[in-house]
């Protein structure tokens, strides 16, 4: 497998208030974990700046301007209870969009079989017109639309294993049967959405997990809900909303997964990508707030992507 990694120093310059879990050290920990002989063949590429026009695939112009106007010249400004922006946040967010779109280009052009995007801020809580949950622009939703508009993908599957429900992605594709959205997440937990009976146009598959559940419940949800939905959908591209906050060390939730679970889930989705879409798989970082849990999990995830 040719596996590409996108990152960029600008992602470290999106600043959050002291003590905030979504912090630049997350990416530094990931970089350290991937700076190992085991990843010598990882194709490391600096993320390109994004094309603002692609943000409009999923967010209205008024929202984009709202975010742009919120960016301060100095300091950190809150735009909701737990989401904030700093002077370089616009460039970081736009580069995150650019990286996810470039990853889609790469798997369609054959430059890579699969791609991991190590970016921040994350995206899956960003709804069409609402920034929330540390997220500004919905990176995976924009990338899915980019695959459809630029590469003619008919069906895109987004699988979200972040421990929080991706309310933003669900909101954006609620009535769009060309995009399948499958999510495993703890419930009850922020943001409160993600019940099984939220099914959209039949294209939304929510598999909530009870607090204190772990590997067995997660894998069962994958086997019984997520994987059959992906197989039934036969996507042209699989995108992972790759949050690693369901790790047992994570401070924001009570699901007890290990690195081996992320390795396993990655392998399952790679099997489906091989079966349905010529291996095309793009994984975009979402949450994960314990530096060891996050970095070890990303290492397991990327190692599996490289191995096939
Ligand atoms: Zn999360």
Q: Calculate how far, in angstroms, residue 208's C-alpha sits from the geometric centre of ligand 1.
A: 13
Note down pLDDT in tens along the chain; length 308 residues.
899 999 999 999 999 999 999 999 999 999 999 999 999 999 999 999 899 999 999 999 999 999 999 999 999 999 999 999 999 999 999 999 999 999 999 999 999 999 999 999 999 999 999 999 999 999 999 999 999 999 999 999 999 999 999 999 999 999 999 999 999 999 999 999 999 999 999 999 999 999 999 999 999 999 999 999 999 999 999 999 999 999 999 999 999 999 999 999 999 999 999 999 999 999 999 999 999 999 999 999 999 999 97
CA distance 169 to 152: 20
Q: Calculate how far, in angstroms, residue 110's C-alpha sits from the geometric centre of ligand 1.
A: 31
pLDDT at 162: 98
Partners of residue 208 on adjacent β-strands: 185
Contact present, 283 and 242 (Cβ < 8 Å): yes
pLDDT at 208: 98
Q: Calculate how far, in angstroms, residue 250's C-alpha sits from the geometric centre of ligand 1.
A: 10
Q: Calculate how far, in angstroms, residue 193's C-alpha sits from the geometric centre of ligand 1.
A: 13
Burial of 243 (0-12, 13-18, 19+ CB in 10 A): buried
pLDDT at 308: 79
Pick the closest to residue 50 from 89, 85, 93 (CA basis): 93
Q: Calculate how far, in angstroms, residue 267's C-alpha sits from the geometric centre of ligand 1.
A: 21
Total-model pTM: 0.99
CA distance 181 to 170: 7
Query: Of the residues 125, 146, 164, 301, which is catalytic?
Result: 125
Q: Which is it for strands 179-186 and 43-46: parallel, antiparallel or unpaired?
A: unpaired
Q: Calculate how far, in angstroms, residue 307's C-alpha sits from the geometric centre of ligand 1.
A: 26
CA distance 194 to 169: 11
Peptide bond into 92 cis (omega under 30): no
Burial of 40 (0-12, 13-18, 19+ CB in 10 A): exposed
248 is catalytic: no
């Amino acid at each position: 497998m040719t596996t590409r990694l996108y990152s960029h120093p600008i992602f470290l310059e999106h600043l959050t208030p002291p003590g905030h879990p979504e912090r630049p050290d997350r990416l530094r920990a990931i970089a350290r974990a991937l700076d190992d002989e085991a990843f010598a063949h990882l194709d490391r590429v600096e993320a390109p700046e994004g094309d603002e026009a692609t943000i409009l695939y999923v967010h209205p112009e008024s929202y984009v301007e709202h975010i742009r106007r919120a960016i301060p010249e100095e300091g950190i400004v809150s735009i909701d209870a737990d989401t904030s922006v700093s002077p370089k946040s616009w460039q970081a967010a736009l580069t995150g969009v650019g990286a996810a779109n470039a990853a889609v280009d790469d798997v369609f052009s054959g430059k890579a079989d699969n791609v991991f995007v190590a970016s921040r801020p994350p995206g899956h809580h960003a709804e069409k017109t609402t920034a929330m949950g540390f997220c500004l622009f919905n990176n995976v939703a924009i990338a899915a639309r980019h695959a459809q508009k630029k590469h003619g993908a008919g069906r895109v599957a987004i699988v979200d294993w972040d421990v929080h429900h991706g309310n933003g992605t669900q909101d954006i594709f609620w009535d769009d049967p060309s995009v399948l959205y499958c999510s495993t997440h703890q419930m009850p937990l922020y943001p409160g959405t993600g019940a099984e009976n939220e099914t959209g146009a039949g294209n939304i598959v929510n598999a909530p997990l009870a607090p204190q559940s772990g590997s067995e419940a997660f894998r069962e949800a994958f086997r019984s809900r997520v994987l059959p939905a992906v197989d039934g959908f036969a996507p042209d591209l699989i995108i992972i909303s790759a949050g690693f906050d369901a790790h047992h060390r994570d401070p924001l939730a009570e699901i007890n997964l290990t690195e081996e679970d992320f390795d396993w889930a990655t392998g399952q989705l790679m099997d489906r990508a091989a079966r349905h879409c010529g291996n095309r798989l793009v994984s975009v970082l979402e949450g994960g707030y314990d530096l060891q849990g996050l970095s070890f999990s990303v290492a397991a995830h990327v190692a599996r992507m490289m191995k096939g």
